[in-house]
Amino acid sequence: MKVLVLNSGSSSIKFQLIDVERETVMAKGLIERVGFDDAIFSYQAPPKEKIKQRRPILDYQTGIHLIKETLVAPQSGVIRDMSQIEAVGHRIVHGGEDFSDSVIINDDVIRSVEKNIELAPLHNPPNLLGIQAARAELPNVPMVGVFDTAFHQTLPERAFVYALPYSYYEEKRIRRFGFHGTSHQYVAQRAAEFLNQQLKDLRMITLHLGNGCSITAIDRGNSVDTSLGFGTMCGMPMGTRAGDVDPAILLYLQEQEGFSAADVQRLLYKESGMLGISGVSPDMREVEDLAAEGHPRARLALEVFAYAARKYIGAYAAVLGGLDVLVFTAGVGENSPILREMICRDMDFLGISIDSEKNDFKGKLREISAPSARVRTLVVPTNEELMIAKETFRLVSEAG
Ligand code: ADP
């Protein structure tokens, strides 16, 4: 089955045409600056020539129309006609408590996603625009929504309720939702396949360490705790996000410095994390390079990052009552031997021990644990688009 995967952001549409059975990407690309006269369309489908052009793309439907035309055009195309696209999979950020699984999109689903706009005001509206545009352009093609939050709907109440008055949960839906679920679920499945074991037999911690970071405890295939919460600013320090901070700091800044909600948002979302500590860059490669040259605050940023990850591993090992598999993924997790080493150092007491030679590589699926280690530590490249395509295939086949 050929599935078109769409990820519609606030001013962008990312797309991939995936052959699900072969697990291959037939074509992929990106439209940036949707809504503008000078939007940028990039497309690649090797061995065909790459496309990069500036052109007006004033709305999502124009963007999806362009993707369609490019996929079938003789020079750039990879399919004869649109009937070869059997389904479309959409990334949807927030499913609230309404979706614990991916879902075939119909009018009821759209209404539920609309209901969750208040929980994800930046993400759900463009996701919906992408869905509506795709339905208009591909009217008879089944569409599936895959939610970033769905995988974490198995969290037990003790893990998702904040110790606020309970009415805040009941009336305002304030609770831990968790994000990056598609990635955590994908790498967990891949890890189990790689180890030739069943997910239902494994206690895992998956570390999604990219620009955004989250860590998840997965008990026999079910997410039971995760470091992102009601929103995407808590847990691990990230590229520019602070992660967990004492809420007293925010009150202090409001009262003493007159910080507004927008000031707090900017501080916690844009100015903190690796950028905030190092004072130089949110990009982990640059932070690592500077640390290697002896830059003290770059070094400190790495230490704070690794220390936070180590605390989560300890906490989640306790949550799971033991640990069988530790998985590193996303930009930093896949590509940074140094941070993997800093995070796993002196963890033998938990059964975690990595082999520094095996660890010295980037970006492939590989086991890095020492032969004597009780916990199998793996690096598993994430692939959210493939997971969305697989989910789409599963749901459309079941419905078929
Ligand atoms: P996003 O959350 O935007 O999807 P990614 O998963 O692509 O982000 O991760 C981006 C992060 O991965 C950046 O901080 C980048 O510096 C880091 N990264 C990529 N390659 C390396 C590398 N070789 N060494 C260290 N960090 C890397």
pLDDT tens-digit map of 119-150: 998 899 999 999 999 999 999 999 999 999 99
Centre of ligand 1 from the C-alpha of residue 42, in Å: 21
Nearest-CA residue for atom 12 of ligand 1: 331
* Ligand 1, pocket residues at CB < 6 Å: 210-212, 239, 283-285, 288, 330-332, 335-336, 362
Query: Quick one: pLDDT at residue 279?
Result: 98
Residue matched to tokens 């793996």: 378
Amino acid (1-letter code) at residue 87: A
Alpha carbon distance 399, 329 (integer Å): 32
C-beta separation of 314 from 344 below 8 A: no
Query: Quick one: pLDDT at residue 122?
Result: 87
Specify the ligand 1 atom closest to the Cα of 212.
Answer: 2
Centre of ligand 1 from the C-alpha of residue 199, in Å: 27
Helices 284-292 & 337-344 angle (0-180, nearest 10): 80
Q: In what order do the strands lie in the sheet with 87-92?
A: 51-57, 36-44, 24-32, 12-19, 2-8, 87-92, 143-147, 103-104
Alpha carbon distance 24, 367 (integer Å): 23
Q: Is 360 a catalytic residue?
A: no
Instruction: Give 171's DSSP letter.
Output: H
pLDDT tens digit string along 3-61?
Answer: 999 999 989 999 999 999 999 999 999 999 999 999 999 999 999 999 999 999 999 99
Alpha carbon distance 180, 158 (integer Å): 21
Alpha carbon distance 303, 345 (integer Å): 12
Centre of ligand 1 from the C-alpha of residue 245, in Å: 23
Specify the ligand 1 atom closest to the Cα of 284.
Answer: 16
Query: CB count, 10 Å around CB of 106?
Result: 11
pTM > 0.75: yes or no: yes
Alpha carbon distance 251, 379 (integer Å): 40
Residue 76, both tokens: 């750039």
C-beta separation of 158 from 224 below 8 A: no
Superfamily grouping for domain 2-147: ATPase, nucleotide binding domain (3.30.420.40)
Query: CB count, 10 Å around CB of 83?
Result: 10
Residue 82, both tokens: 């649109």
Alpha carbon distance 317, 219 (integer Å): 10
Q: Where are the domains of the chain?
A: 2-147, 196-384
C-beta separation of 67 from 51 below 8 A: no
| 47 cis-preceded (ω within 30 degrees of 0) | yes
Nearest-CA residue for atom 22 of ligand 1: 335
Q: Which of 37, 81, 98, 148 is catalytic?
A: 148
Centre of ligand 1 from the C-alpha of residue 210, in Å: 5
C-beta separation of 172 from 118 below 8 A: no
Centre of ligand 1 from the C-alpha of residue 266, in Å: 21
Superfamily grouping for domain 196-384: ATPase, nucleotide binding domain (3.30.420.40)
Residue ranges in the chain whose pLDDT is less than 70: none
Name the residue of 285, 360, 380 to mutate for ligand 1: max ligand atoms within 8 A of Cβ.
Answer: 285
Alpha carbon distance 241, 81 (integer Å): 44
Residue matched to tokens 């997410």: 223
Strand (E) or helix (H) holding 378: strand 376-379
Specify the ligand 1 atom closest to the Cα of 274.
Answer: 14
- Could you tell me whether strands 51-57 and 376-379 are parallel, antiparallel, or unpaired per DSSP bridges? unpaired
Alpha carbon distance 214, 211 (integer Å): 10
Same topology between domain 2-147 and domain 196-384: yes
